[in-house]
Structure 1
Amino acid sequence: MKFSAFLLLFLLLLSYSNLFAIDTNKIDSLKQVLVNANEKDKAEILFKISSFYCDFYADSAIIYGKNSIDIARKYKQTKIEANANKILATAYFYKGNSSNAKASFSIALDLFEQIHDTIGMANCYNGLGIIANSIGDFYSASDIFSKMLDLSLKAKMEDEASNAYNNLGVVYERLGKYDKSIENYQKGLSIREKNNNIRSIADSYNNIGNVYYYSAVSGKIYENFTKAIQNYDKAKEAYSKSSDQLGVAKILGNIANIFLEETAKEKDYNKALEYNLEALKIKQKINNKASLAYSIHNTGNCYLLLKDYNKALYYFSDALNIRQEIDDKIGEAYTLQKIADLYVEKNNISKAIEFLSKAKDIASSMNAFDNIINIEESYYEAYKKGKNFELALEHYQNMNMLKDSIYNIENNKIISELDVKYETEKKEKELILERSENQNNLLIIKQQKTQMYFFIGVIVLFFLLGIVILKAYRDKRKANQKLEIKNKVIQEQAEQLLKTNEEINDQKKLVEFKNTEITDSIHYAGRIQNAILPKIDFLNEIFPEHLIIFKPRDIVSGDFYWAAKVDNNVIFTVGDCTGHGVPGAFMSLLGLSFLNEIVTKNKLVETDKILNHLRNSVISALHQTGTFGEAQDGMDIAMCNYNTENSIITFSGANNPIIIVKKNSELIELKPDKMPIGIYYGNETRDFTATTFQLEKSDMIYIFSDGYADQFGGEKGKKFKYHRFKQLLIESSSFPVDIQKQKIEGTLEKWIGCHEQVDDICLLGIKI
């Protein structure tokens, strides 16, 4: 929650360059027009080119802006000259030249005043206020923003007024005058609520929440944490209404930070974790990698504070990978430091020093002194805990030396800027005085010419007025005649259109009613299907450590999972029926019904015999004869029998395999018979076979449908494929089953991205 409001306002309100995002084609086109244009028209073309360059190439913007000013001044194009000076000021600001930026804004302000352009004047006041704030002259910034506010209120420019209130809120927040800061934020909020600007309303509530947060931290006014959360909640609601999911995630992160504060009345790391996970879920959908890495890192930090080091390391590693991928060096250094802090907590000092060394190398290459200071502090804590007091003292001294160095640099910068400020103001006054004298002379000449032109104009005007009135009378008479004819035609068409609309609305209501009935029926079928699937309590009883991923493509699914226990035999399976949606769901209900009869009722536990009986039942129920052209409905299935006494698993499969991942990450795949449950048109129908395998403690068993591997996605929109699926199972198998489920589902969601799910997906994983 750092102060970024001034830079954002600067980009939104001052610079025309944001109206013209960098576009080389348009720049090239304008340059071609510039070559053939007459000199008077070149001023506006040069101004537009300068605007295009401003955000990205400040030096080029300055060159074209100066040329535009010279021509505009020659031809007395005051508005173009004013806007060109404003762009020039923006470019100087981007280059860090505050003195030149201030001078150009002052000239632009003077020109806008001459042509009574209040919006341009408000923007110039805004720019001058931002410059004052950037050099730490907060009182001058306050005076300038107050002028902007007065001007905006008098001219009834409500958007500019709300922004002026917001700027004053930021200045008072910097000065530590939190009451005045909130007062100004709330006045700006009132205008935004009146105009129903939901996105700006959300920003205002967020800013007010920030003030309460900082006042609670710095002033130890602990009840302000509660007020901060109340305003953050309102901001979250407004961001949601404006469909700004990134804004919602930002607010969740702000609330999480409150629960991490040492001074917070309700310090609760679990609540902070809850808010961070909610923010993370939103950012995963948006897939903004920089923002996503920030939330993943914060989630890891919560787990670190909760001393859940395995999960903390998991999230820190994920954040590190993303930051390395997007080349976020500062973020990478910060995450490496937090991993080092984790190893210090685990008393693994050598590992902590290894990560701190990497973090320091990156931070040093970026001249990121704040990061280096924090890294030196982590070195100090690591060596102190490792009882290497000599090195601990060395890094403690390094940390303090860096802090003193930064303080001296800031002081020298302020002194230099004040000196430049004095010289700039001196030049500025001289330039304004010279311009004022020239303007007075031009005004006298202009008045004399105006009087002469006025008398000539009056005579010509009366003559032209007579001609216009006569012509208007004739035209009006003809127009009235045509209008009568058109009105009659329009009335007939309107009556016919009204009748047609009524018929269309009747048909629409009928279609909507039928669609609602069908959808309700399918939802009810989905509830029936879920009721038939094995209960979670039963699965927890027979397999305490298991995971289920069950994702129908539609409301109901053609995939299913099933389990039963007969004496010391646990029978479990995953089936993939022909099709998906309603047809697939009918087949899955048929399969579940037959399995209950074969295993639960008839006590049949041999996996190959179960599949033989299941195939016969399906063929009989569907009246399949093998005749060419008839429906080839059926299912692929992986059938398992786990003996709880000797830990031997027996497997039979109809096209679907079983994968076993050993504790040492070795993957073993037991192959199925290459034929389905149903009529088989390949070769002569034969009995299914059974394979046995001796399981060991901590082995992972996976059975699944083909929906996961066949899912299209990724950057090129291709299938996930089995080799990638197997590698995912190997990488996930060492984690607890709940983390495995998160990792497998997260990988799937990331892979699908903006694509659609193409098939039902079902996976059952069991840890022995």
Structure 2
Amino acid sequence: MFKTAFTFLFFIIIISGNAQTQKFNLSRQDSADLSLLEQKAAEYRAGNYLKQESDCYNKIADLWWEHNYFEKAVEYYKKSLEINNKLANENAIAMINSNLALIYADMGKYEEALKYFQKTLTIRTIRKEKIGIIAARINMSVVLNNLKRYDESIEHLKKALDLAREMNDPVQMRSCYGMLSETYEKAGDTKNSMYYFGLYRDFNELVEGKKVKKAYDYAREQELKRKLAEKENQIKELELIKTNYELLTKEKALKKTQKEKLSLLDTISEKELKLRYIANQKKLEEAKSKQILLKSKLVIRNIILISSIILSLLFLFVFFYFQKRKSNLALQAKNAEISQKNEEIQVQKNNIEHLLEEMTEAHESIKKSIDYAGFIQSAMINKTPKLSEIFPESFILYKPKDAVGGDFYWYSKVGNKVVVAAVDCTGHGVPGAFLTVLGNNLLNQIVTVSKITKPGDILYKMHEGVMSALNQKDSNNKDGMDMALCTVDLEENKLYFAGANNPLVMIQDDELRVIKGNKYGIGGFSSMIFGKYLEMLPEKKTEMYTTHKFDIRKDMSVYLFSDGFQDQMGGKNNRKLKSVRFYELLKLNHKLKASEQKKQLESFFENWKGDNEQVDDVVIVGIKF
């Protein structure tokens, strides 16, 4: 898991660069996580699972970094970097280099930070990852600012800005403008700082969506005006070129005529000269008339062109006016519709508030009934003598999800034998509580009244009792129970266990064993799966649940439980605790006194759960011999 270097990371670096870094003590949970990660890394290393080993080192580095143990974080990131270099995992190498650079920046080692950011930039450039290139250059500019190397910082920022413009990415452009403004200010260039701050502010509004439509309309209007102006200028230029060419032609012809006139004065008679002069004057007047006519045409053409432009603009104005009017009318209709809807909603709101009051009253009544049911259930399972009076070093951790629970514990002493069970009924809350009453009554009948103490026989009798009570042979009812049950023979110093889906955990001499139960529960789906089989082979009934036998030795600990503890969501990554971590927790605390074990389990459960809702009922019974 990597700490990603985002585009705005430079703000964090600027702040953290001026703050005093203080190491924070590791919590017990953090220490446990570190120990577990080290253990997993060793296992992955032994199995040559390099990717998984690298992930463990990254998580360890993250933990040390979060508590400001920078040297430790660097140590483990470099271990991960070494592995990823072997794997040629370029993306991971780039991310780790970025994290190392950030840590060195936190430590004030800016030259080291710059070196690792440069490595990140090289990889991002090779991979042509444009966003990554921009982020790397921005991060390098922050470090260069701390080193007062402002020219290099500006160079990186302008390259990042060119790439952002190429991508047409306003978010990245905003980041570059903001950082350029900051850098120019530090360099003492107020003019450029204010210029880029203005761009940053405009792009910030653009990104936030406040100027998107306005910018689009403005751009469209400017583009239209530009195209019209270009057309107008082109027409004017063509007309002017044509006019100048015609005038130049006339002027050349006139000059030629005048030259001919001068050359003929010496060779022709005065009369002939006058005739030619008159003819030339006539031609000159005709040329002037044509020139005046041409100018008049040009003026008329310009008037037509300008009128066309004005009419086009007028058409656009009228078009946009009616579009706006149409939008306003639609908006008024929409507002009227909204007002009508609001009135309907208000009526519905009043009806809902009335129903809510009735539901609140009903809820209070139901809550009182459930609370009283919880009191009855508590009285039912809290027996005398207490389990601690039979086994001094024992505890019961019972945490129902709701006021009444679907899990329960049960025990009874029959002669020199003690039968103890942890039962997980289908569901929780009120539905589960009904099954706990059925289960409690069946156990009383089977063990206390009928004196049956062999765990496998007890579970089979429970299975028959649930099927009969819920009429599961002739109905679609699938409710049932999972349970772990053991019998302790105080005279022979023996322990007997049988389980319906649930196991028994036994710890002796620091060795933890999980004795699994049979893979079918009490009643429910098991009646469907095994009912036909047992009808065909009735002699197999006694083998349905296997009874395991063990010698009881000093300091041996056993635990019976439901699945509520290990299924709880929580922890740093908000995931299930799972059985492996639960078993490690039992092993870690098994040498403590029973009362202290219970406190440790309760404390761990609450810390793990955090702000999450409890997902299921929890029951754990622990006995230390």
Give TM-score scaled by structure 1 length. 0.37
Q: Which has the higher contact order (CA 8 A, sep 6+)?
A: 2
- Which structure: larger Rg? 2
